[in-house]
Amino acid sequence: MFRKILIANRGEIAVRIIRACREMGIKTVAVYSTADRDSLHVKYADQSICIGPPPSSKSYLNISSIISAAEITDSEAIHPGYGFLSENSNFAEICDNCGIKFIGPTSANMNLLGNKRNARKLVKDLGISVLPGSDDIRDDEEELKKAAEKIGYPLMLKASMGGGGRGIRMVLTPAHLSQAYHQARQEAQSFFGDKDVYLEKFCENPRHIEFQVLADKHGNAVCLGERDCSIQRRHQKIIEEAPSILVKSAMRKKIGELILKVVKEINYVNAATFEFLLDKDGEFYFMEVNTRVQVEHPVTEFVTNIDIIKEQIRIANGDRLKIKQEDVKIKGHSIELRINAENPVNFGPSPGLITFYNKPGGLNVRVDDLAYCGYTVQPFYDSLIGKLIVHDTNRTGAINKVKNALNEFKIEGIETNIPFLKRILNDADYVSGNVDIGYVQRFLER
């Protein structure tokens, strides 16, 4: 097993990885920007190294500085967490060339699945349904317009690379296509360094369902069931649950088998999340693959009792998966709320000093966070300061538990989205499960 791992990330996911490493007897190295010198992950790690100024491009995205930090500290492996360099195939390849193990998939895996256009073709050839799209058209606006007429409006224009809701535009009519095309390409180039976009048929009011996978280099793979991530605002997830109340065991088994077929076909290694749209007729359509650990991985951990971070580390170490598919049992219900430093009405960021911080407690109540009383939330990064995750025997119990826990979560000095989350948790449509990816927008318009 690795003796020392460098965490190439910050915030709550860096703290989460450090905790897993400690429990496995592995020493950790934190990297940080000058703005993050007082962050929790820096305080918790065995060693810490400053890798640059606040801008991510000069610190957490600075590959040479991160590799140097790993070499200076004799780190044997790097865990990238999510975001930043986690899906950067060049970074994974550089780690490999430097003799440092990248805790994630191979660069070849990422190049194949990280490109949504390529991933759509792969899964379609292996029997997974995809929405009609412009998969064979590249960098040709006129050909794209012809494809749009053939597919039919409304449409979604999507960046081939990246995620997080960037490079996505809805196109209602032919008059909107040209402007959306240039805007999406510009945003995709800015965020992902790749301006390639494609069209996909718009799916009206679907649920967002994703399936968690683990695979080792020995050909063993398991699917850990699904998460429902339909509660979103502007393509950003807010509340995640496991399992989905709409996915029955037979469908879970069928989709899982199709996903594992893809995983084994390309010799995929480590963690991955296959994301789908579930339409009102109960049909699943493949959307994309995230070749990393997800923000919402804790809900899957709660319902399966499997530590995904530890499994990532073991797989990267070359160990065989000890979990077999028949060992995966979905028990109870788990809900995760993202706690953001933002105004609960207009959702503007709210950086600043936290003057009071009280986390909730109780049986099966978990908080993954980066904050504490006296911590200053920085304006340079995303607004996520923590995640509240609960588990109970059923969804009703989980809702009651997370509502109580949220009432105990007290943060002063900055604004947070806690009041907004409370409103959703008390909404009749949410409680009954009558939601889809357009739910939050309709909720806000009431």
With CA atoms as reference, report the closest residue to 341 among 423, 439, 435, 409: 409
Q: What are phi and psi of 183, to 5 degrees?
A: -65, -45
The amino acid that residue 363 corresponds to is L
- The H-or-E segment that residue 432 falls in is helix 428-432
pLDDT score at 166: 79
Whole-number Å distance between alpha carbons of 14 and 81: 7
pLDDT score at 165: 72
Residue 326 has pLDDT above 80, yes or no: yes
pLDDT score at 350: 97
Question: Would you call 97 exposed, middle or buried from its count of C-beta atoms within 10 A (0-12, 13-18, 19+)?
Answer: exposed
Both tokens of residue 408? 């105990």
Residue 3 has pLDDT above 70, yes or no: yes
Q: What is the mean pLDDT of the chain?
A: 95
With CA atoms as reference, report the closest residue to 14 among 69, 76, 60: 60
Residue 90 has pLDDT above 90, yes or no: yes
Instruction: Give me the domains of the chain, ranges plus CATH numbers.
Output: 4-103 (3.40.50.20), 132-201 (3.30.1490.20), 207-444 (3.30.470.20)
Residue 30 has pLDDT above 90, yes or no: yes
pLDDT (tens digit per residue) in 100-159? 999 999 999 999 998 888 899 999 999 999 999 987 777 788 888 998 999 999 999 988
pLDDT score at 164: 66
* Beta-sheet pairing, 270-278 with 352-353: unpaired
pLDDT score at 160: 84
The amino acid that residue 425 corresponds to is L
Residue 376 has pLDDT above 90, yes or no: yes
pLDDT (tens digit per residue) in 160-208? 876 667 788 989 999 889 999 999 998 888 777 788 889 999 998 999 9
CB 5 within 8 A of CB 313: yes
pLDDT (tens digit per residue) in 251-284? 999 999 999 999 999 999 999 999 999 999 999 9
With CA atoms as reference, report the closest residue to 81 among 12, 21, 19: 12
- Annotation marks residue 292 as catalytic: yes
The b-or-e profile of 324-346 (16+ CB within 10 A means b, else e) is eeeebebebbbbbbbbbbbbbee
Report the 10 Å Cβ neighbour count for 410: 12
Q: Out of 62-66, 176-180, 291-295, which region has the weakest mean confidence (pLDDT)? A: 176-180
Instruction: Give the 3-state secondary structure of residue 199.
Output: strand
DSSP state of 321: P
Question: Would you call 246 exposed, middle or buried from its count of C-beta atoms within 10 A (0-12, 13-18, 19+)?
Answer: middle
pLDDT score at 234: 87
Q: pTM for this one?
A: 0.94
Report the 10 Å Cβ neighbour count for 233: 17
What is the per-residue DSSP string for 387-424? EEEEEESSHHHHHHHHHHHHHH-EEESS--SHHHHHHH
Contacting residues for 57 by C-beta, under 8 A, at least 6 apart: none
Whole-number Å distance between alpha carbons of 297 and 311: 12
pLDDT score at 194: 82
pLDDT (tens digit per residue) in 224-249? 999 999 999 988 999 999 999 999 99
CB 357 within 8 A of CB 410: yes
The catalytic position among 227, 252, 292, 366 is 292
pLDDT (tens digit per residue) in 6-24? 999 999 999 999 999 999 9
CB 239 within 8 A of CB 168: no
With CA atoms as reference, report the closest residue to 162 among 183, 180, 184, 179: 184
pLDDT score at 446: 87
